[in-house]
Amino acid sequence: MSAVVQLLLRRLGISLIVLVGVSMLVFGIARIIPGDPARIALGPNATVEQIAKLRSSMHLDESIVVQYGHFIKDLSRGDLGMSLYTNRPVTLDIAEFLPATLELVIVAGLLMIGIGLPLGRWSARYRGRLADHVIRLVSLLGVSAPSFVWAVILMLLFAFFLPLFPIAGRISDTYTIERVTGFLLVDTLWAGNFQAFSNALWHIVLPAFALALSGIGQAARLTRANMIETYDKPYIEMAQAYGFSGRRIANRFAFKPSLIPSLTIIGLDFAAMLGNAFLVEAVFAWPGLSRYGVAVILRKDLNAIIGTVLIISATFLLVNLIVDLLIAFLNPRIRHSQRQTS
């Protein structure tokens, strides 16, 4: 069995265990916090009989272990239960709201990698010179303010004082796009409507930047630090002694070994954006999972809370899995150490 497949299977197994743990934890916490979900759902005018009926249909009158058993049985059929807030299956709700959040996080992640890594590389190559100082200052700024602060600042500067970008939303109301994946950037292209695509892109710029700024700073700082360490290695001196240009050494010989340690942290940052996205979405009125998540938490909508948390955990694990595979792909020492143990 190939080393990468073996690694993939092992990581999948671990992810599954983590997911089960998360489900138990959230399930337990949601049941322990005070307040009767059935009573909250039915409102103040509900009769005792109505509440009792809803409680028994939600299995709330049984022991927590039995309740968890019901939950797992339903989950295996892809059923997360009904949301008491929207009166629809939780899976439907999540399918509706998750793509908007994922779209935002993916664009922000791409910005982080596409801007942060080159900035760090540039900074390390021109270490101690003006470009390095400027990049370090900017990335420190990016890291030191949380993303919702950036969201407010960017919105004020580039949507309000200087109206270059829209204030809120995913796309202008004038466009009606048939929903295929829920990712507007994909759906507009699918429909062949490039005007709508550029409009959606125009809408995502500010929220994605607000979400990405701290990640960009982090990625730049890490890449710089790792590359400066790499620059002291004998193989870089060897590359210099063989007359490779400074640009080639920076972009190839020093960058690849430095990327491996950076990537782990970048992966974690990427996953952390899922959480930060909640606040950025709130600022930009982005119709993502955050509005839904906050609403269901406040209403103690058990099924919806558990569903939302599970989906976010699963996404987090998926991102980590992808990062691990990428690292294995980039780092021959990992790939080959796996082979030896098999």
**Rounded distance between C-alpha atoms, residue 140 and residue 52, angstroms:** 56
- The verdict on 257 binding another protein (CB under 8 A) reads yes
Neighbours of 288 (CB within 10 A): 25
Cβ 215 to another protein, closest distance in Å?
A: 24
User: CA 99 → CA 67, 106, 275, 283, 289, distances in Å?
Assistant: 30, 10, 15, 18, 8
Amino acid at 97: F
CB under 8 A: which stretch of 68-76, 86-94, 233-241, 304-312 binds another protein? 233-241
Query: CB-wise, 257 or 287, nearer to another protein?
Result: 257
Rounded to 5°, the CA angle 275-276-278 comes to: 75
- Cα-flanking dihedrals φ and ψ of residue 33, to 5°? -60, 140
Figure out which of the listed residues 245, 285, 318, 322 binds another protein, where binding follows CB under 8 A: 245
Cβ 259 to another protein, closest distance in Å?
A: 9
**Rounded distance between C-alpha atoms, residue 227 and residue 204, angstroms:** 32
- Cα-flanking dihedrals φ and ψ of residue 157, to 5°? -70, -50
Q: Which residues contact 15 (CB under 8 A, 6 or more apart)?
A: 317, 318, 320, 321
- The verdict on 242 binding another protein (CB under 8 A) reads yes
**Rounded distance between C-alpha atoms, residue 41 and residue 3, angstroms:** 51
CB under 8 A: which stretch of 98-106, 115-123, 192-200, 243-251 binds another protein? 243-251
Query: CB-wise, 78 or 243, nearer to another protein?
Result: 243
Figure out which of the listed residues 25, 238, 285, 318 binds another protein, where binding follows CB under 8 A: 238
Judged by CB under 8 A, the number of residues near another protein is 22
- The verdict on 130 binding another protein (CB under 8 A) reads no
- The verdict on 126 binding another protein (CB under 8 A) reads no
CB 8 within 8 A of CB 318: no
CB under 8 A: which stretch of 25-33, 35-43, 185-193, 324-332 binds another protein? 324-332
- The verdict on 133 binding another protein (CB under 8 A) reads no
The residue count of the chain comes to: 342
Cβ 253 to another protein, closest distance in Å?
A: 6
Figure out which of the listed residues 157, 237, 298, 318 binds another protein, where binding follows CB under 8 A: 237
- The verdict on 70 binding another protein (CB under 8 A) reads no
Q: Which residues contact 151 (CB under 8 A, 6 or more apart)?
A: 206, 207, 210, 211, 279, 280, 283, 284
Figure out which of the listed residues 77, 333, 341, 342 binds another protein, where binding follows CB under 8 A: 333
Figure out which of the listed residues 239, 296, 312, 319 binds another protein, where binding follows CB under 8 A: 239
Q: Which residues contact 325 (CB under 8 A, 6 or more apart)?
A: 4, 7, 8, 11
Query: CB-wise, 194 or 235, nearer to another protein?
Result: 235
Both structure tokens of 311: 């989906």
- The verdict on 2 binding another protein (CB under 8 A) reads no
Neighbours of 76 (CB within 10 A): 8
CB under 8 A: which stretch of 185-193, 221-229, 251-259, 285-293 binds another protein? 251-259
Query: CB-wise, 181 or 245, nearer to another protein?
Result: 245
- The verdict on 251 binding another protein (CB under 8 A) reads no
- The verdict on 263 binding another protein (CB under 8 A) reads no
What residues line the site for another protein (CB under 8 A)?
128, 233-235, 237-245, 253, 256-257, 260, 330-333, 336
